[in-house]
Chains A and B, each alone.
Chain A
């Protein structure tokens, strides 16, 4: 069981907007910033969103992040077939003194 909770799957059609949720607790998401990672099939993870809502250079503005209390969300607008991937949230946990990941959400573009 992951410390951060994500839905195992999500889906959408091209052009649609979808959101992926990430639920935690006061010792992780509420106290620290949340980061999101994308993992394409057969590839290493890649940083997608850091500091709750910041995009690294090269990440399209179709991707956005938000946080409220003990929950966070990743939104993808203008869905494209190449967005099919696994998405993970992660945060530092003050109680565990370590990083925790969500279980991952597999996004399918129909």
Chain B
């Protein structure tokens, strides 16, 4: 059964960094584009970033551009999100999700990992 499991969340002070990971099981990550989507407490979904199956194309939401970096290691079936210069407004549950291609629907989602940015 296809499954995505995120990890790496936690409490971090403003201005610090954090790296999230998303490991796939039951399917090969290398054939899918991968997304990060976040949800602030009590709020709606916000798309964060996407990376193509081979890592050559990356797109970011304006709110994270220049601070966050999406990457992948297909040999480890793992997706990453490096988050630098964190702000309190980055506090959210971060989900990873797979898609056939960058502009296709997000078909499988992980359960999410909570990132809290607070002093």
Contact = CB atoms under 8 A, between A and B. Distances in A.
Interface residues of A, number: 26
Contacts of A45: 37, 45, 95, 97, 106, 109
Interface stretch (B17-25, B55-63, B84-92): B55-63
Given A44-B111, A45-B109, A37 B62 contact: no
Given A37-B106, A51-B105, A98-B61, A90 B111 contact: no
A35 B105 CA distance: 6
B93 to A, nearest CB: 9
Given A44-B111, A98-B61, A88 B106 contact: no
B112 A90 contact: no
Q: Tell me the dominant secondary structure on chain A's binding face.
A: strand
B44 A103 contact: yes
B109 A44 contact: yes
Interface in B10-57: 35, 37, 44-47, 50
Nearest to A88: B45
B106 A47 contact: yes
B9 interface: no
Contacts, number: 57
B47 A100 contact: yes
B2 interface: no
Contacts of B47: 90, 98-101
Interface of B: 35, 37, 44-47, 50, 59-62, 95, 97, 103-107, 109-112
Interface of A: 2, 32-33, 35, 37, 39, 44-47, 50-51, 56, 86, 88, 90, 92, 96-104
Given A86-B44, A101-B45, 4 more contacts: A2-B44, A35-B106, A47-B105, A88-B45
30 contacts: A2-B44, A44-B112, A45-B45, A45-B97, A45-B106, A45-B109, A46-B109, A47-B109, A50-B105, A50-B107, A56-B107, A88-B44, A88-B45, A90-B45, A90-B47, A90-B106, A92-B103, A98-B59, A98-B60, A98-B62, A99-B35, A99-B47, A99-B50, A100-B47, A101-B44, A101-B45, A101-B46, A101-B47, A102-B44, A104-B44
